[in-house]
A and B are shown apart, each in its own frame.
Chain A
Amino acid sequence: MTDLRLDGVSKRYGGGGGTSPDAADEPGTLALRDVDLTIRDGEFFTLVGPSGCGKTTTLRTIAGFEDPTNGRVSFDGDDVTGVAPERRDVGVVFQSYALFPHMTVAENVGYGLQFRDPPTGTSRDDRIEHLLDLVDLAGMGERDPAQLSGGQQQRVALARALAPEPSLLLLDEPMSALDARLRESLRRQVKRIQTQLDITTVYVTHDQSEALAISDRLAVMNAGRVEQVGSPREIYREPATRFVAEFVGDNNVFEGTVDETTDERSRVTVDGRTFFLPALPDTADRVTFCVRPDALSRAAEHNRFTVAVETTEFLGERVRCNGRWNGRLIVLHVDDPIDGRSADGDLTVGFEPSAAHVVDVE
């Protein structure tokens, strides 16, 4: 299996005419800016970010479909920058499935076995059968891809990518064309197969909840840069930047001026209202911090303020309330029902200083 490293990878489109779907047409678009990543052997690693953030370009650079303008890509310490994709030993699954429409399911799965031998002791046909079994499509080998449902087609694409035993599996938004329920079950299946085969996997998605659910570690990308790399818990609980704080999960972000810092705590003013946070560095003048919706509680003793609730969404056990405080959008979760009344109107909530996560100080 394979360790994967990207060192200072940049990608500029234009001048020569970019070919990636991510590339804008104007010359000199910088799609990747100095990306450093280390992906460990056997890891399920996710690249997540809004569209145009460079996650797909990163994946395509790893696969060899794009050559980086600067920097290098290495597999197990070997520099593979510039090596043609067919010589990289990677399996790729695309959002569009990209099944060969003129071949049967079995021919699709067996295509890569023309170029890379099946594992010793297995015949080509055995290998195809084994993989169709693995993705729960046993006996479908003679079908045409067009006869299958979207989820089935995507599983054929996965089987096809895995058939030649690649050392690296690359998944480019493989589920965005599927409906929500199917996406979840397929996601679990992908994760199960990945664990079973212990194959290093890079997964691209724009869906942060999917990224949190499936990954060992993930990288949040924005505007061609990696904002933060970490485990789902680290990313969720300790976002390193304001972008990550706002992109991953619901969050409430506040900026304030630091008035006073003692050993235990700092006093901060946001929009004329005083909040207490855990002690900040002495030099801090301004602070950006965030509080998750679940941490805003009606029972909390500290840091209380009143939110004008505008809309509510019923989630089952809880209700998500969207409202404003001093013009700022605030999202919070409350139990349902709230004292037997609807959540409309004003709600006074607070948060414990320890629940605030500091994103940035100046």
Chain B
Amino acid sequence: MSDDEPRHDRPSDTATGRDVTDRTGVETARIEAVTAWIERHALTLLALATAATLAVMLYVPVAIVFAEAVVDRGSVTLASFADVLSDPFFVGELATIAADPLALSDHLAGIWGWLTAISISATAVTVPGIGISIPWFAVDTPSLRLGLFGFTAYQAALSTFASLALGLPAAAVLAKYDFRGRRTIRSLTILPFVLPGILVAVGFYATFGRAGTINSLLGVVGLGPYPFIEWNPLAIVIVAHAFYNAPLIARVTVAAWEAVDVRSVETARSLGASRRRAFVDVVLPQLRPAILAGALLTFIFTFMTFPIVLALGGLELATVEVWIYDRVSRLALTEAATLAILETVISLGLTYAYLRYESAQSGLSATGSPPPREPLFPNLRSVVSPRRLAIVGYGLLALVVFVGPLASLVLGSVTDGSGFTLRHYAFLLDRQLEGESFQTLPVRAIVNSLLFGLATLLVAVPMGVVVSVVTTRAGRSGTVVDTLAMLPLAVSGIVFGIGLLQGLVFGISLPGGWRLQVTGTVAIVAAHAVAAYPFVTRTVSPQLDDLDPALVESARALGASRGRALLDVELPLVASAIVAGAAFAFAISIGEFSSTVILATGSDAYTMPVAVERYLGRRSGPALAMGTVLLAVTAASFVVVDRVGGRFEQ
């Protein structure tokens, strides 16, 4: 923003300059000069404040944890990396490469030997519980030791695949067909993404657990109960990941689809392409960046998954993040930090790739006039067409995956083994009225969550907007800044929480006897804001990018400072994105668990997700009741902001 600073001042060319000579008071002149200076540099000042907040609340805590890995008794060492990289437990077969990277022919021979040992055979698979055999291809691969990182990537890849399989049909239906509730479903696709992991985990237990909804339903027809989760915890974890990420993929794909210009399709058709060819040749290439970006983001999220795996899989399914958590709780901090650095390097690399894709995608989104949507069910007969039947079938599947866990959660909160009951809620009420101050009080949790959410919104929105403004149209250097600013997406929540605790809550000694210490509510809000602002940036940046640069330039030529042009022109025009970003920030704050649970330990600054976790005991009832309250508050705030946002979009 060096262009904000005039290197030469012409004495009489500014309005303030003219005013000053008219008025006589020297004091007035000084105040005006300061005001003018602040106004002129408002954006720079905000950017510096954002950078400072990020430094104190993000980079320093993360650096403190990372330092554990490389500092051994005061000297820097990379020994712990060598230990991890050559240990098959962590990196599987790659360990031999790390141990002796130059023995290339051995490595190649190993890969060749493995590839030639793959065999594919036809077989039959028995569907568990029903006893029907279906033909299947069995791919028989020789055993391959994946290691911790390999397994983490493997489950992330499976989760990404499942999310694509579940999300793309939804995108197709939302983009191609018109039906009642289409817009609502489209905006609801954001909801799973902001739901707290602990809530989803509880919801999946309530659906697939031994006493869950599915077993209850099967019990009606005399089957079960089946231990679904114990049978294949990996499958349940992957479905839970799809629950989170398929809506995300659907969302970005629909957005790209709606940006497709119908004229490009019509051109292809007039040139002789069939409907299918036109889709493959014209529409699909325009969707590809969005789909890839969505898939990449899904991979990043599921690579760093934590609460879902911990709750549904436990240590047998340990991902890197779960293992880090385990090491931390056993105070093996060096190993934890080493793993955290490796994990962050991988996820940062992926985030950079994602941002590159995203910018490629924004180049494509021209002013689209999307193809018209056809009614989903134009008449009664159309229901039985194969295509419609497939859509109905998909709808039922989506109902089980997306609505099932949440419905089971609510259902579980008002039932017990024998039928309808309100005693779980009565327990909450009783705890509120009779509980001791050291116990977890439901109303306090709700009030805390709402207050933190509001405070987070107030901090995260300016931060996110400033990062958007600074990085938009800054070319490749902008992508680098963007990647650094997106660090909260790429860094493990556990590491972040530990860093905050070790660094800011315990305090950092500064030279001159000062101590930098941030605690309690402030620390929680700051942690939430740091976690939330990337989502503000991600919603605001594309809209800001689409604005005609001449708008801001016109304002500036007319005499507005950069900050003033932002306030008068850019912000009003991206208001809908800012509102959406604010909704995100609020929801992220309400749902944040990993760092809150660490920072709220031993204080009464607990939030609803923390309360859910604390109520989770031998009986799941109270936790389900608290979870339902959390779901209701999240959904209500979402609906409110969505309404407000909808008004802004006009």
Which of A's residues lie within 8 Å of B, judged by CB?
16-19, 21, 25, 63-65, 67, 75, 78-92, 94-96, 98, 100-102, 111-112, 114-117, 157, 160-161, 163-164, 166, 170
With a cutoff of 8 Å between Cβ atoms, the chain B residues found around residue A84 in the complex are: 3-6, 40, 556, 561-562
Query: A98 to B475, Cβ gap below 8 A?
Result: no
Query: B556 to A82, Cβ gap below 8 A?
Result: no
Docked Cα-Cα span, A111 to B3, in Å, equals 22
With a cutoff of 8 Å between Cβ atoms, the chain A residues found around residue B554 in the complex are: 92, 94, 98, 100, 157, 160-161
With a cutoff of 8 Å between Cβ atoms, the chain A residues found around residue B15 in the complex are: 115-117
B2, B551, B559, B572 interface centre (most CB from chain A within 10 Å):
B559
With a cutoff of 8 Å between Cβ atoms, the chain A residues found around residue B477 in the complex are: 16-17
Chain B residue, CB-CB nearest to A64: B3
Query: B6 to A82, Cβ gap below 8 A?
Result: yes
Query: A98 to B553, Cβ gap below 8 A?
Result: yes
Chain A residue, CB-CB nearest to B2: A67
Residue-wise, chain B 118-146 has the 8 Å CB interface mask toward A (1 for contact) of 00000000000000000000000000000
> Which residues of B467-492 are within 8 A (CB) of A?
473-478
Query: B559 to A98, Cβ gap below 8 A?
Result: no
Nearest chain B CB to A75 CB, angstrom units: 8
Nearest chain A CB to B484 CB, angstrom units: 16
* Any A CB within 8 A of the CB of B557: yes
A18, A75, A86 interface centre (most CB from chain B within 10 Å):
A86
Docked Cα-Cα span, A83 to B5, in Å, equals 7
Query: B8 to A82, Cβ gap below 8 A?
Result: yes
Query: A87 to B553, Cβ gap below 8 A?
Result: no
Query: A87 to B573, Cβ gap below 8 A?
Result: no
With a cutoff of 8 Å between Cβ atoms, the chain A residues found around residue B8 in the complex are: 78-83
Query: Which one, B13, B14, B553, B555, contacts A63 given CB within 8 A?
Result: B553
> Which residues of B1-19 are within 8 A (CB) of A?
2-10, 13-15, 18
Query: B13 to A89, Cβ gap below 8 A?
Result: yes
* Any A CB within 8 A of the CB of B558: yes
Query: Which one, A19, A25, A75, A112, contacts B558 given CB within 8 A?
Result: A112
Docked Cα-Cα span, A86 to B553, in Å, equals 9
Q: A18-B475, A117-B18 are in contact. Are A101 and B7 (CB under 8 A)?
A: no
Docked Cα-Cα span, A16 to B557, in Å, equals 24
With a cutoff of 8 Å between Cβ atoms, the chain B residues found around residue A89 in the complex are: 13
Query: Which one, A19, A101, A157, A163, contacts B473 given CB within 8 A?
Result: A19
With a cutoff of 8 Å between Cβ atoms, the chain A residues found around residue B641 in the complex are: none
* Any A CB within 8 A of the CB of B569: yes
Chain B residue, CB-CB nearest to A85: B556
With a cutoff of 8 Å between Cβ atoms, the chain A residues found around residue B14 in the complex are: 87
Docked Cα-Cα span, A95 to B6, in Å, equals 27
With a cutoff of 8 Å between Cβ atoms, the chain A residues found around residue B2 in the complex are: 67
> Which residues of B441-475 are within 8 A (CB) of A?
473-475
Query: B560 to A86, Cβ gap below 8 A?
Result: yes
Q: Tell me how many residue pairs across A and B have CB atoms closer than 8 Å.
A: 121
Query: B557 to A19, Cβ gap below 8 A?
Result: no
Nearest chain B CB to A147 CB, angstrom units: 15
Query: B573 to A94, Cβ gap below 8 A?
Result: no
Query: A115 to B6, Cβ gap below 8 A?
Result: no
Query: A83 to B553, Cβ gap below 8 A?
Result: no
With a cutoff of 8 Å between Cβ atoms, the chain B residues found around residue A160 in the complex are: 554, 558
With a cutoff of 8 Å between Cβ atoms, the chain A residues found around residue B18 in the complex are: 117
With a cutoff of 8 Å between Cβ atoms, the chain A residues found around residue B117 in the complex are: none
Q: List 28 A-B contacts (CB under 8 A).
A: A16-B477, A17-B474, A17-B476, A18-B475, A19-B474, A25-B475, A75-B10, A81-B8, A84-B3, A85-B553, A86-B560, A86-B561, A86-B564, A87-B6, A92-B553, A94-B548, A94-B553, A96-B550, A98-B550, A100-B569, A102-B573, A112-B559, A114-B559, A116-B15, A116-B558, A157-B554, A161-B554, A170-B557
* Any A CB within 8 A of the CB of B568: yes
Docked Cα-Cα span, A90 to B308, in Å, equals 59
Query: Which one, A65, A86, A100, contacts B559 given CB within 8 A?
Result: A86
Nearest chain B CB to A93 CB, angstrom units: 8
Query: A81 to B560, Cβ gap below 8 A?
Result: no
Query: B553 to A82, Cβ gap below 8 A?
Result: no
Chain A residue, CB-CB nearest to B573: A102
Q: A79-B8, A96-B550, A100-B569 are in contact. Are A86 and B556 (CB under 8 A)?
A: yes
Q: A86-B557, A98-B550, A164-B559 are in contact. Are A78 and B10 (CB under 8 A)?
A: yes
Query: A83 to B557, Cβ gap below 8 A?
Result: no
Chain B residue, CB-CB nearest to A87: B14
Docked Cα-Cα span, A117 to B14, in Å, equals 10
With a cutoff of 8 Å between Cβ atoms, the chain A residues found around residue B3 in the complex are: 64, 67, 82, 84-85
Docked Cα-Cα span, A94 to B552, in Å, equals 11
Nearest chain B CB to A284 CB, angstrom units: 48
With a cutoff of 8 Å between Cβ atoms, the chain A residues found around residue B553 in the complex are: 63, 65, 85, 92, 94, 98
Query: A17 to B4, Cβ gap below 8 A?
Result: no
Query: A87 to B10, Cβ gap below 8 A?
Result: yes
Docked Cα-Cα span, A224 to B478, in Å, equals 27
Chain B residue, CB-CB nearest to A16: B477
With a cutoff of 8 Å between Cβ atoms, the chain A residues found around residue B562 in the complex are: 84
Docked Cα-Cα span, A84 to B478, in Å, equals 22
With a cutoff of 8 Å between Cβ atoms, the chain B residues found around residue A111 in the complex are: 555, 558, 560, 568
Nearest chain A CB to B185 CB, angstrom units: 30
Query: A63 to B476, Cβ gap below 8 A?
Result: no
Docked Cα-Cα span, A17 to B472, in Å, equals 12
Residue-wise, chain B 534-557 has the 8 Å CB interface mask toward A (1 for contact) of 000000000000001111011111
Chain B residue, CB-CB nearest to A66: B3
With a cutoff of 8 Å between Cβ atoms, the chain A residues found around residue B476 in the complex are: 17
With a cutoff of 8 Å between Cβ atoms, the chain A residues found around residue B559 in the complex are: 86, 112, 114-116, 164
For the A-B complex with A63-B557, A89-B13 known, give 8 more contacts whose Cβ atoms are closer than 8 Å.
Answer: A18-B475, A19-B549, A81-B8, A85-B3, A86-B561, A86-B564, A91-B558, A115-B559
A67, A88, A161, A164 interface centre (most CB from chain B within 10 Å):
A88
Docked Cα-Cα span, A86 to B475, in Å, equals 24
Nearest chain A CB to B174 CB, angstrom units: 28
With a cutoff of 8 Å between Cβ atoms, the chain A residues found around residue B560 in the complex are: 86, 111, 114-115
Query: B7 to A82, Cβ gap below 8 A?
Result: yes
Chain A residue, CB-CB nearest to B575: A102
Query: Which one, B6, B13, B556, B558, contacts A164 given CB within 8 A?
Result: B558
Nearest chain A CB to B555 CB, angstrom units: 7
Nearest chain A CB to B474 CB, angstrom units: 6
Query: B548 to A96, Cβ gap below 8 A?
Result: yes
With a cutoff of 8 Å between Cβ atoms, the chain B residues found around residue A157 in the complex are: 554
With a cutoff of 8 Å between Cβ atoms, the chain B residues found around residue A112 in the complex are: 558-559
Residue-wise, chain B 352-367 has the 8 Å CB interface mask toward A (1 for contact) of 0000000000000000
Nearest chain A CB to B207 CB, angstrom units: 46
Docked Cα-Cα span, A360 to B2, in Å, equals 45
With a cutoff of 8 Å between Cβ atoms, the chain B residues found around residue A18 in the complex are: 475
Chain A residue, CB-CB nearest to B476: A17
Query: Which one, A63, A75, A90, A98, contacts B551 given CB within 8 A?
Result: A98
Query: A102 to B572, Cβ gap below 8 A?
Result: yes
With a cutoff of 8 Å between Cβ atoms, the chain A residues found around residue B551 in the complex are: 98, 100
Docked Cα-Cα span, A116 to B17, in Å, equals 11
With a cutoff of 8 Å between Cβ atoms, the chain B residues found around residue A91 in the complex are: 557-558
With a cutoff of 8 Å between Cβ atoms, the chain A residues found around residue B555 in the complex are: 100, 111
**Across chains A and B, which 9 residue pairs bring their CB atoms closest together, nearest first?**
A115-B559, A17-B475, A112-B558, A98-B550, A82-B7, A94-B550, A92-B557, A85-B556, A98-B554
Nearest chain A CB to B592 CB, angstrom units: 34
Chain B residue, CB-CB nearest to A18: B475
Nearest chain B CB to A352 CB, angstrom units: 49
Docked Cα-Cα span, A34 to B389, in Å, equals 69
Nearest chain B CB to A320 CB, angstrom units: 33
